């Protein structure tokens, strides 16, 4: 008689795993397909030099992005008890890291443009650096959805962010904004993604933080960030 509840639990678990796998597959494949379609359109409008400049700037942004996505954000998943105070501590700490990285890139943007011989790289990188504070917030909320296995929200984030970014980039390209079409595209992607994560998470940030928790998790957070 005790076997029936066990079977039901196992079936429910298998269904949940299959559902999460489906959303994960749709998140990756759907975003890639939409992104590829928009990039094909943009490639027919923009000059190759525009893609070259944005590639250099994006490379630097991605290095900084790995820090805000794999430092304090990973602690959201690994920490044993994620109460509101712990969440606030990790959120504000990650935001400070994002602001610091944003400042470093903004300051170094024009010297890098001189070193590379690309004058437009300076203003492009300085403008793109504003996505890092946005990504630092998104990284924490994304980790919370992963912790709670809310993959539907992550899928919506991926698809809506790519669709919105591609649409904005396409409109800017038609209006002859050149490389700034790709800049607007990336800023839109980061902003839309963050807004969708905030919507599905439902957690509102507060100002109660734990210094003791920060002291405990900071060393391992920096280790995680530096390992990527």
Q: Which residues of the chain fall short of a pLDDT of 50?
A: 1, 8-12
By three-state DSSP, how is residue 18 classified? helix
Report d(CA 124, CA 181) in Å as an integer: 11
Task: Write down the pLDDT at residue 11.
Answer: 47
Please tell me the total count of domains within the chain: 1
Distances (CA, A) of 8 to 1, 11, 12: 12, 5, 6
Do the beta carbons of residue 96 and residue 137 sit within 8 Å?
A: no
Q: What is the phi/psi pair of residue 83, to 5°?
A: -90, 180
Do the beta carbons of residue 74 and residue 224 sit within 8 Å?
A: yes
- Sorted by sequence, the CB contacts under 8 Å of residue 83 that are 6+ apart come out as none
Task: Write down the pLDDT at residue 31.
Answer: 87
Q: What is the phi/psi pair of residue 199, to 5°?
A: -65, -45
Q: How many Cβ atoms from other residues are within 10 Å of residue 121's Cβ?
A: 23
Structural domain for 186, as ranges: 3-226
Task: Write down the pLDDT at residue 99.
Answer: 95
């Amino acid at each position: 008689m005790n076997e029936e509840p066990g079977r039901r639990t196992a079936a429910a678990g298998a269904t949940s795993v299959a559902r999460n796998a489906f959303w994960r597959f749709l998140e990756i494949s759907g975003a890639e397909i939409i992104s590829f379609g928009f990039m094909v359109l943009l490639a027919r409008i923009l000059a190759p030099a525009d893609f070259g400049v944005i590639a250099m700037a994006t490379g630097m942004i991605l290095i900084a992005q790995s820090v805000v996505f794999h430092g304090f954000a990973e602690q959201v998943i690994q920490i044993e008890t994620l109460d509101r105070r712990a969440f606030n501590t990790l959120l504000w700490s990650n935001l400070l890291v994002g602001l610091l990285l944003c400042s470093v890139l903004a300051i170094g943007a024009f010297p890098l443009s001189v070193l590379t011989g690309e004058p437009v790289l300076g203003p492009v990188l300085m403008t793109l650096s504003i996505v890092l504070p946005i990504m630092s917030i998104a990284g924490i909320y994304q980790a919370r959805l992963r912790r709670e296995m809310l993959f539907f929200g992550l899928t919506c984030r991926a698809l809506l962010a790519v669709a919105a970014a591609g649409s904005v980039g396409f409109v800017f390209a038609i209006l002859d904004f050149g490389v700034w079409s790709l800049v607007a595209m990336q800023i839109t992607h980061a902003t839309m993604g963050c807004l969708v994560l905030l919507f599905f998470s439902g957690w509102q940030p507060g100002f109660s933080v734990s210094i003791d928790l920060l002291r405990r998790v900071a060393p391992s957070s920096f280790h995680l960030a530096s390992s990527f």
